[in-house]
Amino acid sequence: MKISVIVPMFNSETFIVDCVNSILAQTFQDFELLLIDDCSIDGTVELIRSRYNDPRIRLVLNARKKMDWGSRNLGIQLARGEYVYFMDHDDVLFAGALETLWHGVEISGADTIHFNQYMHDTNGIGSKNPVETIYKIRDTAPPWKFVPEDVEWRLFHRDFTLQVMPWQKLIRRKFLIDYGIYFPPVWISSDSLLFFAELCLARKIFVVDGLGYVYRNNPKSQMHNDAEKQFQHSIENFLPFINYMEEIFSKDLVTPLSRELQLKYELKFFHDLNFYLARKIYSDGTPIEKIDSIINQRIKNGDLQNSKSVRMLFHMAVKSYISSNKEA
């Protein structure tokens, strides 16, 4: 079997039929579809069982919640395909998507094959929203020349903007297994960490010219709207985020300079993200005492290393918000 499509599901009955139908309608047919249900409490599982009797579909039920990252990791272990492809339950594929990606495998033999475009759809299937081109690959370093020694260029070149989303790429399963690459258990940026591992460890990355994926906004997503929850999860992410990077660095395919620069970059990302989130939840009415209590709990849980600097960060964020409002 050539491709395993892995789709985590949780309370997905509103979207999953469109998703599954778009996969089953692919022009490329040598695939299996792993639907991994993460303890849904709506009619998702019953809908799949009643609607589909297709030998390509394997329905897997988690005995306990694993979250998206855990379901994806389980999918990697259970997959029978040479390559794996990850989809979100509320999105859809164009009919020729897998065929386009597999053509990239045939002409390149790369560890990962990327789409160079996707559609951001907010109005339903068939929307005429503009297609976003998301790669800026310079001719001086085309993707078929990407090898491990190019990793500094990959990580730090301004014009290198490969997207982190797992649904933008087909990944060789053996590559993931051999290097022990997995989706880490973090609420924000699990996708980007796996992408970071891909950039550091893949022997070859190849980009195909085509539009394959329709990303659909899901306004009911709690993480999409709840800044306070994002704030808490972002703090929880900090140590696992750095630990995962150190795990990838331990493969000895990245120079010490790259390690230092990338860690500094990620710390700046953490700083900027939480600066924004702290301002956002304060502006939404969360008192600074509540922000402090969240930080205190995360320190107690061992999620933060330097409590003084982190507390200062969030107080600076709130003061900056207050100051900007007075100036306005």
pLDDT digits (tens, 9 = 90+) for 196-225: 788 778 777 787 877 789 888 765 554 455
By DSSP bridging, strand 3-9 and strand 83-86 are parallel
Instruction: Return the higher-pLDDT residue of 247 and 272.
Output: 247
Q: Which residues, including other chains, have CB under 8 Å from residue 215's CB and lie 6 or more apart?
A: 88, 91, 118, 119, 120, 121, 165, 167
Instruction: Return the higher-pLDDT residue of 79 and 217.
Output: 79
CA atoms of 200 and 155, how far apart (whole Å): 8
| Three-point CA angle 226, 227, 232, nearest 5° | 105
pLDDT category at 77 given cuts 50, 70, 90 is very high
By DSSP bridging, strand 92-93 and strand 205-216 are antiparallel
**How large a percentage of the chain has pLDDT more than 90?**
37
**pTM listed for this prediction:** 0.76
Of the listed ranges 7-21, 75-89, 107-121, the one predicted with least confidence:
107-121
- 29-35 mean pLDDT: 98
* 3-class state of residue 328 by DSSP: coil
CB atoms within 10 A of CB 230: 21
pLDDT category at 43 given cuts 50, 70, 90 is very high
Look at the alpha carbons of 113, 117, 123, 128 in this order and tell me if their dihedral is positive or negative: negative
CA atoms of 240 and 244, how far apart (whole Å): 6
The predicted pLDDT at position 328 comes to: 47
Which helix (H) or strand (E) element contains residue 190? helix 190-201
Instruction: Return the higher-pLDDT residue of 282 and 176.
Output: 176
The predicted pLDDT at position 298 comes to: 57
Instruction: Return the higher-pLDDT residue of 250 and 189.
Output: 250
pLDDT category at 89 given cuts 50, 70, 90 is very high
C-alpha pair distances (Å), 305 with each of 2, 36, 133, 228, 310: 44, 35, 39, 21, 9
Q: Which residues, including other chains, have CB under 8 Å from residue 301's CB and lie 6 or more apart?
A: 236
The predicted pLDDT at position 314 comes to: 56
The predicted pLDDT at position 141 comes to: 39
pLDDT category at 105 given cuts 50, 70, 90 is very high
DSSP 285: T
CA atoms of 15 and 19, how far apart (whole Å): 7
* 3-class state of residue 270 by DSSP: helix
Of the listed ranges 31-45, 60-74, 145-159, 277-291, the one predicted with least confidence:
145-159
The predicted pLDDT at position 185 comes to: 83
Task: Look up residue 1 and give its two tokens.
Answer: 């079997």
Task: Look up residue 273 and give its two tokens.
Answer: 């993200």
Q: For the chain, what is the radius of gyration of the CA atoms?
A: 21
Average pLDDT, the chain: 76
pLDDT category at 226 given cuts 50, 70, 90 is low
Instruction: Return the higher-pLDDT residue of 68 and 256.
Output: 68
CB atoms within 10 A of CB 160: 17
pLDDT category at 107 given cuts 50, 70, 90 is confident
Of the listed ranges 164-173, 186-195, 224-233, the one predicted with least confidence:
224-233
The predicted pLDDT at position 195 comes to: 77
Q: Tell how far CA 296 is from the center of its chain.
A: 28
